Amino acid sequence: MPNVAVIGAQWGDEGKGKVVDWLASRAEIVVRFQGGHNAGHTLVVGNETYKLSLLPSGVVRGKLGVIGNGVVLDPQALLAEIARVTAQGLSVGPDNLRIAENVPLILPLHPALDRAREAARGERKIGTTGRGIGPAYEDKVARRAIRLCDLAEPETLSAKLDELLLHHNTLLQGLGAETFTKDALLAELLDLAPRLLPFAEPVWERLDIARASGARILFEGAQAVMLDVDHGTYPFVTSSNTVAATAASGAGIGPSAIGTVLGIAKAYTTRVGSGPFPTELDDATGQLLGDRGREFGTVTGRRRRCGWFDAVMVRQAVKVGGIEGLALTKLDVLDGLPELKVCVGYRLGERTVKHLPAAAGAQAAVTPVYETMEGWSGSTRGARSWAELPAQAIKYVRRIEELVEAPVVLLSTSPERDDTILMKDPFAG
């Protein structure tokens, strides 16, 4: 059976946590391959709710979790998350969590720089979480990052901190923010070393062995395609590539090992933070979607902006993200609405366009072209088979398939892990 990569097909918060948790029951290993603790997955298991940011969702299922080199890792955030889920009854240790030895670390100076820059932008802020993700990725590509393996070499670590502080303290001072001292950072990292190094290994080797033995691997993406640093609504994006191709470089495997690519999309659209949102609803319907869907960011706590399903955007995500099938979530939120709208194109001046433009000005200027569909009066909540769905709900799902040019292979009808309709097993290829 092939492996599966799960990515978001909108702007994140599509319900990837539940879907990954559901799929993890069929996998042996779950791998996080990009992003940092700016991503959040909420898993509802019976009466327990787990909020994960760094830990692969498979830990809730008792599977081996892997944090790949494509992630930027905040050591304090990871240890705090492990302590939190341990208090909820889960066991997380080096036996069921492995971390790439070459993963870059987020240090206290990264969120400090992140927040200082955002404050300096004023009204032009881009909505960063302020957790240091962007500055940490900058250090990675500038070849000055502190990586997990460096904690085992105090002399190397000391020299690398000199270079890092030369860069960051200059920026922080220019922004009027507090600077950092080498001694304090070095002491903190040396204190963290014995707690983190037992998790470290060349995970590419473990994944290669697992793949050769026929083990099923689930690659868990964070954020979503339209937040991809190349393909998203730039500059209102995250600082990493979120498309499925990143699973290869972010975990240390060949592209042929990624397997089936499953995209997650809500039956409507949401977005947290700033940036363009063509189908956003600033009315009672938008408020209703937010209230019913409990639309608050797992990480930020901010209320999500809500709007109609944008088939143009999801079709674009399908194409650039390599998505072969969709998992459609939160269909039940639309129950009882007399009519539904689906965006089938954009108007840009006098032109109709079938994709979201790359330029920021054009992105902000597009207006949606809608197709109106009849709603349904029955309930979809908790449905576990097509036979339980109202006919008009099935028609809505089928129309989405046509517009985005990808089949819906999994349908989620509530936050509960078993309220799921499976049309095709992603692990079956």
Distance of alpha carbon 397 from alpha carbon 390, whole angstroms: 11
Residue pair 374/334 in contact (Cβ under 8 Å)? The answer is no
Q: Letter for the amino acid at 396?
A: Y
Kindly report the backbone phi and psi dihedral angles of residue 62, in degrees, each rounded to the nearest multiple of 5, phi listed first: 80, 20
Give DSSP secondary structure letters for 35-80.
Answer: B-TT--EEEEETTEEEEESSS-GGGGGT-EEEE-TTB-B-HHHHHH
Which one from 13, 21, 74, 114 is the annotated catalytic residue?
Answer: 13
In the residue annotation, 13 being an active-site residue is answered as yes
Ordered strands of the 217-220 beta sheet: 200-201, 97-100, 64-67, 29-32, 217-220, 4-8, 260-266, 325-329, 408-412, 420-422
Which one from 21, 37, 41, 74 is the annotated catalytic residue?
Answer: 41
User: Which residues sit opposite 406 in a β-bridge?
Assistant: none
Taken in order 311, 241, 110, 74, the sign of the CA dihedral is positive
Q: Letter for the amino acid at 43?
A: L
Q: Please tell me what DSSP assigns to residue 393.
A: H
Burial 29-38 (b: 16+ CB within 10 A, else e): bbbbbbbbbb
Active site residues: 13, 41
